[in-house]
Amino acid sequence: MTQRVYKVALIDIDGVINHATRFSERYSAKYGVPIEKMLPFFKGQFQDCLVGERDLKEILPNYFEDWSWKGTVDELLDYWFAGEINPDKDVMQLIKDLHAKGVKTVGASNQERYRMNYLREALHLDDYMETSYSSAEVGSLKPEPEFYQYILNELAVKPEEVVYWDDDINNVASARDLGIKSYRFTNKQDFMRQFKECFPE
């Protein structure tokens, strides 16, 4: 049987490369603010930020009173973003090795623009990824098929030329429906095995 040749390894960032406790959980525990008080933000205007329709720095001050935050917007973002950096170095190395062999390794993440830029720097994504796409740049969220179709168009590849990993089963299912070979990331060991099967030496 002929080995299928993949041109692109499409990889989710949070949940595959990066593993961290959610900002709302850390903030609630540290400052004694019930998570329920934070949900209107995350279920409301933050969703607009995720698709690039609003600016996070402009809307956050609207929630300072409910969150009992006394600092600046930038100080809050520093606490938020820095506390969510916890990369898996083994996973990163595997991607680096593949990138060094000439395979296009590409990031795909539901992110507003400030955190996406932070992730690119903190995780050094540009060192081992051809490029990375955020929902804010694409204008749609995973698992919407438009998200994946945008990336396919940008990279000028067919669905069958892409293999994809994501920790969210809904994202995986949506990509599969488009014809992209997709795996749900559950643990590092399975990921490494799948990775080597798709990209043998």
| Exposure string over 41-51, b if 16+ CB within 10 A, otherwise e | beeebbeebbb
**Distance separating alpha carbons of residues 199 and 194, to the nearest angstrom:** 9
Alpha helices, DSSP H, located in the chain:
23-31, 35-43, 45-50, 56-59, 64-67, 73-82, 89-100, 113-122, 125-128, 135-138, 145-155, 169-177, 188-198
The distance of Cα 125 from the centroid of its chain, to the nearest Å, equals: 11
Q: Are 8 and 106 in contact (CB under 8 A)?
A: yes
Query: In the prediction, which pLDDT does 45 show?
Result: 97
Query: In the prediction, which pLDDT does 5 show?
Result: 84
Domains for the chain: give ranges and CATH numbers: 8-19+87-198 (3.40.50.1000), 23-82 (no CATH)
What is 112-132 written as a DSSP string? -HHHHHHHHHHTTHHHH-SEE
Tell me the pLDDT tens digit for each residue of 97-154.
999 999 999 999 999 999 999 999 999 999 999 999 999 999 999 999 999 999 999 9
**Which parts of the chain register pLDDT below 70?**
1-3
Phi-psi region of 32 (alpha: psi -120 to 50; beta: other; left: phi over 0): left
Query: In the prediction, which pLDDT does 201 show?
Result: 74
Please tell me the pTM assigned to this model: 0.94
Query: In the prediction, which pLDDT does 1 show?
Result: 44
